[in-house]
Amino acid sequence: MVTSSAIRILDLVCVARSAIDGRFTVAEFEDVGSVAALGDVYGDVGGLLSRHDIQQAAMALEVGRSAILLLVEDRWAGGLSAAARQAGGRVAWGERVPGARVEVAVAAMERREEIAQSDSGRGR
């Protein structure tokens, strides 16, 4: 996605919560061998995730777990934003919706369509 310019990585940090005392440690991705290869796609921005951001994310981690915190710019949305401005509008809000919520919504929609088709087949 970075290569195609769909996104730009703005910041990337590795976080781990200790299984012993629950404290968290932070490491730059280049210091973590298993993710150091991301250096090939990582930009030069960095430093945008604050200590508070990192602490909040770390608190969501289960004890003994680790995570990569990734801050990206959705560059693909630039065309959408430009089109909205040209039409006299603006993009007022954006939010990432978890995949599980999307799957539930799609399944409900498909079920409604099945019911509607079934009802129309009975002459209702």
Q: Is residue 87 part of a domain?
A: no
Check if the beta carbon of residue 8 is closer than 8 Å to that of residue 64: no
Q: Is residue 119 part of a domain?
A: no
Mean pLDDT of 4-18: 81
Q: Give the global pTM.
A: 0.58
Domain ranges, residue 37:
7-76
Mean pLDDT of 112-118: 88
Q: Is residue 102 part of a domain?
A: no
Q: Is residue 42 part of a domain?
A: yes
Q: Is residue 88 part of a domain?
A: no
The total of structural domains in the chain comes to: 1
The tens digit of pLDDT for each residue in 42-70 reads 566 577 888 898 888 888 889 999 888 88
Residue 68, C-beta contacts closer than 8 angstroms, at least 6 positions apart:
12, 13, 14, 15, 29, 35
